[in-house]
Structure 1
Amino acid sequence: MDSNIYEVYQDEIQALQEEIKLLTEKYEDIQQEITFFSEEEILKSKESFQREMQGDSKGQECPSDLKVQLESLETDLSFLMKLTGFQFTSHSKKTLEKTGDRTVQKHRLSGSCYSLSFQLEFQLLEMQSKEKVSTAVTDLSIIMKSGEDSGVSKFVSSVEEHGNLITFFRSLSTYAEWYEHRRRTFLHFKTKYPEVVTLPEGLQGDYIVLRNPKLSGFELMIVWKIHMDKEGSTTPVLDLLTKVPEQVLEQKMARVGNVPAQFRSMVLLLGIEAAMENLIKVVK
């Protein structure tokens, strides 16, 4: 064979090999793009899968072990969602670097915990040695709607600085649970005592106002803060503010000044809901 023709073939083979390599890398990146679908999309996929299985088996039921496994997974997922309040709506990852003992992936994750939504973006560095595999989170960025809560903002900044995702999820679950509990409690009392309870900032606010329709100018404000420190510890803090006309104080409400202290004592003794209920009944 002529040497020139041989060299041409060699060049073409090499070019094809390079093209195959590039396509393979692109395919691997696409394969690493993972998406977690919503609950509605999961249910639709499940129904479609069941129809296909029924069609393939010509009317026969799915294997019992497959049904048991599917039901078990659904039960576990439902339990975890109820226990933690988390629902993940999307997640994707992309490999930025990969060598023999080092892998760097970029992750994007969004979801909600009860009624609080969040978005995360971070890089995951994985180092592999003969003894173990170690991982580290870097370039962590967190976006969440926490309003003007400075405690939450400081906590998020601390988590971003240290790249501690476990602390973020654990603390967010506790904070969001108190947040949801406060929202439901306000809704309960607004529904039960609409003539007494008002919500100036809506259900997402941190206080409710109690008014007696028969006493003009008389108001009690129950303030319910949810304090989160820099380490992620969450504590509910309740207080009572009073607004009472001077003539009422002089006549029948001389002891109103002691009501805030008495309310705080009731919270410690009876719990938040019972203390609020008793106060509302007094105002009513």
Structure 2
Amino acid sequence: MNINTLKVYEDEIQSLEKEIQLLTEEYECHQHGTAKKAMNTIKRKFQEDPKCYYSSPDLKTQLALLESDFSFLMNFTDIQFKNYSRKLLEKSEIKTVYNYRLSGICQSVPFQLEFRLTEENQNNKNDYVVVTDLNIIIESEESSNLSKLVSRVEENGNLLLFFKTLSRFSEWSAYRKCTLAHFKSKYPNIIALPEGLSGDCMVLKNIELSGFELMIVWKIHVDQDGKVVPVLDLLSKIPMPVLEDKKFASDMPHWFRSLLHVLGIEASIEAVIKSVCRSK
């Protein structure tokens, strides 16, 4: 082996040693901080001494792609991960077991997850992973709407179903809150929100008709299979004199449900509010 060849090998070994050190530091960041912090740590080391990594362009490319994918997923799903940790519990030729903890927020719904991830190798065939001991905590007033889904996911370990449904549920929750705020601002003397913007009801009153009251109830139903469906209805509280004088009032709940299929949510609510205004 000539001196030039030996020099090439020595340089490659040094480069690999530095990459191993880099990955070790990245792993420690994962253990004690957030995934994003770990990415920033690697990126900073590249910036401090980029010459050490010229022999590994693939690593830099993979980092850039990982950051891009991570940012895209957070923007696309509105799921922001805040804290993340991974602890190695077991490692053998047959399987590797990790314990994961992570927390984040989706729109206005905070969540925490803890689970075990087992990576098994079946006789040198394709590896596959199994999620077990899953525990999900949702810190939100709306957590009761997700209780069936959480129970189902904790049972079968389907994290993809959980995040997909959480994203969809959060979209509907944000849309409902925005819609309630819009109508409250537009018709402050007619609309009341007894449970606030995070509630699921809107009360409409006509101050010139004593006892006249309509309530639009807007639930967001989530079944155990992850299907998210908005459910709206109209309840009425109408005194007999008003009912006798304005017979259409008793038909408003049915009329409102029919409008939903034709006009959609916002236009249907607007139509109900305007009917209350005209009844002054």
Report the equivalent of 2:137: 143
> Which structure 2 residues correspond to residues 181-260 of structure 1 after superposition, within 5 A?
181-251=175-245, 253-260=246-253
Which residue is equivalent to 2:126?
132
Larger Rg: 1
Asked if the contact 2:97/2:118 (under 8 Å) is kept, the reply is yes
> 1:34, 1:92 within 8 Å by CA — same for their partners in 2?
yes
Asked if structure 2 preserves the Cα contact closer than 8 Å seen for 1:32 and 1:95, the reply is no
- How far, CA to CA, are the matches of 2:49 and 2:104 in structure 1? 36
> Could you tell me whether the CA contact under 8 Å between 1:86 and 1:173 is conserved in 2?
yes
Match in the other structure for 2:265: 272
1:46-195 residue pairs with structure 2 within 5 A? 77-128=70-121, 129-147=123-141, 150-195=144-189
Seen in structure 2, the aligned counterparts of structure 1 residues 31 and 275 have a Cα distance that, compared at 3 Å, is: closer
Call closer, same or farther: CA 1:97–1:37 in 2, change over 3 Å. closer
AA paired with 2:31? E
Q: Secondary structure at the match of 2:247?
A: coil
Aligned equivalents of 2:70, 2:96: Cα separation in 1: 29
CA drift at 1:212 = 1.5
AA partner of residue 103 (structure 2): S
Structure 1's unaligned 5+ residue stretches are 1-26, 58-67
What is the alpha-carbon distance in structure 2 between the residues aligned to residue 282 and residue 71 of structure 1? 56
Secondary structure of the equivalent of 2:226? Answer: coil
Aligned-partner residue type, residue 220 of structure 1:
L
Cα distance, 1:72–1:186 mapped onto 2, change above 3 Å: farther
The amino acid that maps onto 1:161 is E
Kindly state the Cα deviation for residue 75 of structure 1 after the two structures are TM-superposed.
6.5
Alpha-carbon spacing, 1:119–1:281, altered in 2? closer, same or farther (3 Å): same
Distance 1:74 1:165 in 2: 21
Structure 2 unaligned residues grouped into runs of 5+? 1-24, 51-60
Q: Percent identity, aligned pairs only?
A: 49
Rate the CA distance shift 1:189–1:78 in 2: closer, same or farther, 3 A.
Answer: farther
> Could you state the TM-score of these two structures normalised by the residue count of structure 1?
0.75
Normalising by the residue count of structure 2, what TM-score does the alignment of the two structures yield? 0.76
Q: Distance in 2 between matches of 1:261 and 1:156?
A: 34
1:214-273 deviations in Å (ceiling 9; x for gaps): 22221110001111111111111110001112221122x222111001001111100001
Residue 72 of structure 1 and its aligned partner are, at CA, apart by 8.0
8 A Cα contact 1:183 1:203, kept in partner: yes
